[in-house]
């Protein structure tokens, strides 16, 4: 049976660092504050929001919400973001996406001051991830994958990593961050041929396809580390499952993250660490 790379151990260590910073800031009268912008009532957004609010209260970060109906106008969202940019009491912003189809999402995201962009959604934050310049914050889930691997002492330098998924939210940024850690990265997607063979050659697989249990035992071999980013609702099982078929794969590989209980919880801890860091930087600028 593989070693189970539980998110909770990673979360505890990130949270304790965040708590120390938050306490220091609070002692100076700065209350690190996250603003959540949500359009509509999508169950996935609400689940993430509830987790984020809980995590925020654990580490002492305040949360305010701006909630809009699904027919909200693009201009209304942009003017809200401009107000938040000018509000010294809000240090970080999380915008749930995708936004409704009538809204130009890129325009809305890029209205946000990158210094308050906690999830790498502005072009400037993305440029930071791709150019490795200190611009903004990387997407929280991509960073959560790196935090998890680092916590468990999994060496990346010179390792072959196969990333399944090429989205701007996870696949691409996590690939760039792995590359920065000197891994040799192969990015796979829906048009990749012989995906299982490509995956089997890797030392580490990062599955971020959003496709329930697609990584079967044909994709893996012994001594591999598997990081499952997927969060998929399985009607038949009546529960959330990952992109990896945990039951058949965990007997073969050397280490694997569970779903739930893996990368997901680490993501909200990373989000809170970004808010605390943003508050620290803003308070330093004001000094």
Identify which of residues 25 and 129 has a Cβ nearer to ligand NAD in the complex.
129
Q: Which of 220, 244, 219 is nearest to 230 (CA)?
A: 244
Query: Angle at Cα 144 formed by Cα 104 and Cα 47, nearest 5°?
Result: 60
Coil, helix or strand at residue 35:
strand
Q: Which of 171, 183, 219, 282 binds ligand NAD (CB under 6 A)?
A: 171
How many of the other CB atoms lie within 10 Å of CB of 27?
8
Task: Decide if 279 contacts 251 (C-beta within 8 A).
Answer: no
Identify which of residues 13 and 232 has a Cβ nearer to ligand NAD in the complex.
232
Q: In the range 174-203, which residues lie near ligand NAD by CB under 6 A? A: 188-190, 192, 195
Identify which of residues 25 and 266 has a Cβ nearer to ligand NAD in the complex.
266
- Residue 213: which residues within 8 A CB-CB, separation 6 or more? 234, 241, 242, 243, 244, 245, 246
State the Cα–Cα distance between residues 283 and 88, nearest whole angstrom.
10
Identify which of residues 211 and 252 has a Cβ nearer to ligand NAD in the complex.
211
Contacts with ligand NAD, 216-255, as mask; x by CB under 6 A: -------------xxxx-----------------------
Question: Which residue shows structure tokens 């987790």?
Answer: 51
Identify which of residues 195 and 276 has a Cβ nearer to ligand NAD in the complex.
195
Q: Using CA atoms in the order 268, 269, 272, 274, what is the torsion angle rounded to 10 degrees?
A: -100
Peptide bond just before 98 cis, omega within 30 deg: yes
State the Cα–Cα distance between residues 91 and 275, nearest whole angstrom.
6
Q: In the range 113-152, which residues lie near ligand NAD by CB under 6 A? A: 141
Q: Does 97 bind ligand NAD (CB under 6 A)?
A: no
How many angstroms separate the first and last alpha carbons of the chain?
A: 53
Q: Does 214 bind ligand NAD (CB under 6 A)?
A: yes
Smallest gap from Cβ 143 to ligand NAD, in A, equals 10
Stretch that binds ligand NAD, among 16-24, 26-34, 35-43, 261-269 (CB under 6 A): 261-269
Q: Does 85 bind ligand NAD (CB under 6 A)?
A: no
Question: Which residue shows structure tokens 């390792």?
Answer: 159
Q: Does 272 bind ligand NAD (CB under 6 A)?
A: no
Q: Which of 38, 42, 166, 221 binds ligand NAD (CB under 6 A)?
A: 166
Identify which of residues 92 and 264 has a Cβ nearer to ligand NAD in the complex.
264
Which parts of this chain interact with ligand NAD (CB under 6 A)? 141, 164-167, 169-171, 188-190, 192, 195, 208-211, 214, 229-232, 263-264, 267
């Amino acid at each position: 049976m593989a070693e189970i790379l539980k998110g909770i151990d990673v979360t505890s260590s990130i949270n304790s660092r965040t708590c120390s910073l938050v306490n220091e800031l609070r002692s100076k009268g700065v209350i690190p504050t996250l603003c959540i912008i949500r359009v509509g009532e999508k169950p996935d957004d609400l689940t993430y929001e509830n987790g984020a609010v809980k995590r925020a209260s654990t580490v002492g970060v305040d949360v305010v919400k701006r909630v809009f109906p699904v027919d909200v106008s693009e201009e209304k969202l942009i003017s809200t973001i401009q107000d938040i940019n000018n509000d010294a009491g809000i240090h970080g912003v999380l915008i749930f996406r995708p936004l409704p189809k009538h809204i130009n999402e890129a325009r809305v995201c890029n209205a946000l001051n990158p210094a308050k962009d906690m999830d790498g959604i502005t072009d400037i934050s993305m440029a930071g991830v791709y150019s490795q310049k200190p611009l903004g914050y990387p997407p929280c889930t991509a960073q959560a994958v790196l935090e998890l691997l680092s916590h468990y002492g999994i060496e990346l330098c010179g390792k072959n990593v196969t990333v399944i998924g090429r989205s701007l939210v996870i696949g691409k940024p996590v690939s760039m961050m792995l590359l920065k850690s000197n891994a040799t990265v192969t990015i796979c997607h829906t048009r990749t041929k012989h995906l299982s063979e490509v995956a089997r050659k890797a030392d580490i697989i990062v599955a971020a396809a959003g496709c329930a249990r697609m990584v079967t035992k044909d994709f893996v071999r012994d001594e591999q580390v598997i990081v499952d980013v997927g969060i998929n609702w399985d009607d038949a099982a009546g529960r959330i499952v990952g992109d990896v078929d945990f039951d058949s794969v965990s007997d073969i590989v050397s280490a694997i993250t569970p779903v739930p209980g893996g990368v997901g919880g680490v993501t909200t801890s990373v989000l809170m660490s970004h808010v605390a860091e943003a508050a620290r930087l803003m308070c330093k600028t004001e000094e």
